[in-house]
Amino acid sequence: MENLGKYFLELRIKRDLSYKRIWEDIRIREEQVKSLEENRIFELGPYGVAKALVFNYARYLEADIDAVMHEFKVMMPDTTRSKFTPSKAVKEKKIMLSTNFLWMVGIILIVVILGSILVHAYRQGWLAKPMFSSAPAADSTRLSQDGNSEPAKENKPDTLRTRMRILSENIQKNGTPNPTPQAATTALSDTTDYLGNILEDSPVNVPVH
């Protein structure tokens, strides 16, 4: 086989196949068929695409597959095949959460919700203070001499006026006379002339009575 393109053209004309019919049968476009029939193999695309088109078109025309593929290797050798570099698979980033972490988050949320409810109820006055926070009430019941229980009398505060009154009554009962106003005045007066002793005789000195 001297000319692969001419070989394809003769087979197509012999079978009376139009470009439209070829497209409907094997989905090869008109410009691709013309590239095959004119030996413009490199215009078909990369090595793998060109090889597939040549093989499918030769099989469709019922051509000699071995002779066609041999001629294709002469026209487009394997050295023209570009090295295939597979693209790196993109791994999806997944966030793995442990079961213990999820349980811990759930427990924390429950505690926060319950704490908020208790605080709100306490501020609204719906909760009473616990008994252990208040001092125990004093026992107001005592036993009398005959063994019967009777309520204890409330101890009133001992004021200063009450103590002075009691002290005055005790003094009068013991027979101590009340001091007279003159004696009280004498007792409270200070007859010591400190300033005169220091300055000696001076017209400035005023006797203290």
pLDDT tens-digit profile of 87-99?
A: 555 555 566 667 8
Q: Kind of pairing, strands 149-151 and 141-143?
A: antiparallel
CB 61 within 8 A of CB 12: yes
Percentage of the chain surpassing pLDDT 70?
A: 57
Which is more confidently placed, 97 or 178? 97
pLDDT tens digits for 126-161?
A: 776 655 555 555 555 555 555 555 555 555 555 777
Task: Enumerate residues 6+ apart whose C-beta is below 8 A from 190.
Answer: 208
Q: Which helix (H) or strand (E) holds 50?
A: helix 47-60
Q: Is 11 exposed, middle or buried (0-12, 13-18, 19+ CB in 10 A)?
A: middle
- 205 pLDDT more than 90: no
Burial class (CB in 10 A: 0-12, 13-18, 19+), 32: buried
For the whole model, what pTM was predicted? 0.40
Q: Dihedrals φ, ψ of 143, to 5°?
A: -95, 135
Indicate whether 32 pLDDT > 90: yes
Distances (CA, A) of 193 to 13, 110, 200, 208: 161, 87, 10, 6
